[in-house]
Amino acid sequence: MGDARPISRRDLLRQGALGGLALGAIGATGGAILAACGSSTATEATSSPSTTAPADDPRAPWWLEGNFGPVHTETTATDLTVTGTLPKALTGLYVRNGSNPLQGISPHWFLGDGMVHGVQLEAGKATWYRNRWIRTGFYEHGGGLGATGAPGGTATLSNVSVVNFAGRALSLGEVGAPYVLDPTDLSTVGPSLADAGTNNNMTAHPKIDPVTGHMHSFGYGFTQPFLEYRVHDAHGTLISNQPVTLPKSVMMHDFAITESDVIFMDLPVLFDMNGAIKMVSDPASGAVPYRWDPTAGARIGVMPLGGPTSELRWVEIDPCYVYHTINATRKGGDIVLDVCRLDSAFGPPKLASSSTRHRWTIHTAGKDLTFSDHVLDVPPADLPTTDPRHRGRPWRHAWLAELNSRPGQIAFAGCQHIDMATGRLDRWVPGPGRFGGEWLFVPDGPGEGEGWVMAFVYDGSTQRSNLVVLDALHVSKGPVAEVHLPVRVPYGFHGAFVTV
Ligand SMILES: [Fe+2]
């Protein structure tokens, strides 16, 4: 239970048979990946859980090593130790999603089964920690891609984000339908197919308008319609689902809104059917279902908030990739959009770059859109968060996960706070051997940026993680509180503060 012992090929095949895993999804998996495998059974630990990080192994891909490697146990721990003082206003559930392959192997860091890690905070106390796999269709069929056919609907990894909307906590993936979570114990309630339109997919990065309470989102797919734009009202009811004409299926991870606009990014990471087939038949091949193809062109699309999508206008830009927008706002005839920009994604290592913050300005007043790009010179960072009360409106503050990556290997560092009014960059570095991830801003006070940012911080010396809380406007002062967990939390993606 819960250890990270290497398992034999016989073990893996037996688990696959018991779990309904198609043997084709294992293929001719080499010893390199098997050596990094752990148990596939979702056992629960309530005391002395062991979540030792897999040791570095030159034969294993980086996302199965160290604190990128999956944990193999679902843990429940209560009455957690806190150092410092947890702000009393932080009453709710901090929960973060990530990729945690059920079978211990995955063809890419992005392509493991979703696991959420949550810490319940109540008036200065940390009452419990839980981690739970999302019980998706893929999970129920043994985990991993390809176990139940093409992704979409319940065939999802649901491993990217959590969104707190209209009284529900939704686990979201790159594609597929949202899954509803029970915030009292992180169990999976079930899929919400009604939210996934007609193409059965929903982005992991919907945007909630702070004035109307509407949730704007999209879903992209690998077959027509390649893209749909949606609006949910503040009560959570889907009130609009409109197809968007795209010539091809592209990986569209994020988008942006202003108080009056929707901004899409049609960037040249294309769906690759050959890569998808090879990945499923041979997960050790390194094949993935996306490929970088700058000849496909890159463009930004702008249309009225709410639609109609027939009014979408496009402007060509230089090929690049953006996983995450920071925020956008309209200034007269211009849209100002800050992004974390990469020179490429899913391309050759020689084309890889650090994620750099750029300010894009889209001039919308004329007959044709025009575009300008300004580099904001800050240390590499991504996974941005802003004050949700300023979504789509003028904003001053942003927080990002600082990165020390090299080509082909993500490396997290500390927290960056950027004050756009002064240009000041404030940073907190966790210290030797400690590494953060996405910092989530939670408001606590009337002004923009008044509140807290929090993230799981991993300590390599203890192989445990803490939930670290920083004063959002004074991050360099260091933690105001740390919640000590009895386990490590693997590096992951996006979180939410759930108060339903
Ligand atoms: Fe993301």
The per-residue pLDDT for range 369-421, each reduced to its tens digit, is 999 999 987 789 999 999 999 999 999 999 999 998 776 678 899 999 999 99
H/E segment holding residue 386: strand 381-386
What gap in Å lies between CA 382 and CA 437, rounded to an integer?
9
Residue 161 CA, ligand 1 centroid: distance in Å: 7
Residue 494 CA, ligand 1 centroid: distance in Å: 7
pLDDT in tens, 300-310: 999 999 999 99
SS3 label, residue 447: coil
Between 24 and 459, the higher pLDDT residue: 459
Residue 143 CA, ligand 1 centroid: distance in Å: 21
Residue 1 CA, ligand 1 centroid: distance in Å: 31
Q: What is the mean pLDDT of residues 469-490?
A: 98
Establish whether the linkage from the previous residue to 225 is cis, with ω within 30° of 0: yes
Residue 322 CA, ligand 1 centroid: distance in Å: 10
- Predicted pLDDT of residue 42: 59
Which of 15-19, 99-103, 139-143, 409-413 is predicted with the least confidence, judged by mean pLDDT?
Answer: 15-19
Residue 438 CA, ligand 1 centroid: distance in Å: 10
Shortest CA distance to 189 belongs to which of 168, 163, 217? 168
All domains of the chain in start order, with CATH: 9-498 (2.130.10.10)
Q: pTM for the full model?
A: 0.90
The identity of residue 291, as a single letter, is: R
Residue 200 CA, ligand 1 centroid: distance in Å: 19
Q: What is the mean pLDDT of residues 21-31?
A: 20
What gap in Å lies between CA 71 and CA 409, rounded to an integer?
20
Residue 447 CA, ligand 1 centroid: distance in Å: 26
Residue 84 CA, ligand 1 centroid: distance in Å: 30
Residue 17 CA, ligand 1 centroid: distance in Å: 33
**Residue 58, both tokens:** 């030159």
- Predicted pLDDT of residue 46: 53
Residue 46 CA, ligand 1 centroid: distance in Å: 31
Predicted confidence (pLDDT) at residue 30 exceeds the cutoff of 90: no
Predicted confidence (pLDDT) at residue 20 exceeds the cutoff of 50: no
- Predicted pLDDT of residue 12: 26
What gap in Å lies between CA 298 and CA 165, rounded to an integer?
32
pLDDT in tens, 415-466: 999 999 999 999 999 989 999 999 999 999 999 999 999 999 999 999 999 9
The identity of residue 193, as a single letter, is: L
- Predicted pLDDT of residue 146: 67
pLDDT-based confidence at residue 1 (cuts at 50, 70, 90): very low
Q: What is the mean pLDDT of the chain?
A: 88
Residue 7 CA, ligand 1 centroid: distance in Å: 32
Residue 384 CA, ligand 1 centroid: distance in Å: 9
Q: How many CB atoms lie under 10 A from the CB of residue 186?
A: 27
pLDDT over 90, % of the chain: 77
Half-sphere exposure of 247 (CA within 13 A, CB side): 8
pLDDT-based confidence at residue 45 (cuts at 50, 70, 90): low
Residue 446 CA, ligand 1 centroid: distance in Å: 28
What gap in Å lies between CA 136 and CA 142, rounded to an integer?
10
Residue 264 CA, ligand 1 centroid: distance in Å: 15
Residue 336 CA, ligand 1 centroid: distance in Å: 20
The identity of residue 196, as a single letter, is: A
Helices assigned H by DSSP within 206-294: 273-281
Residue 112 CA, ligand 1 centroid: distance in Å: 15
* 163-176 residues labelled b (16+ CB within 10 A) or e (exposed): bbbbebbbbbbbbb
> Nearest 5°: phi and psi at 63?
-80, 0
pLDDT in tens, 167-211: 999 999 999 999 999 999 999 999 999 999 999 999 999 999 999
Residue 160 CA, ligand 1 centroid: distance in Å: 6
Residue 493 CA, ligand 1 centroid: distance in Å: 6
Beta bridge partners of 330: 335
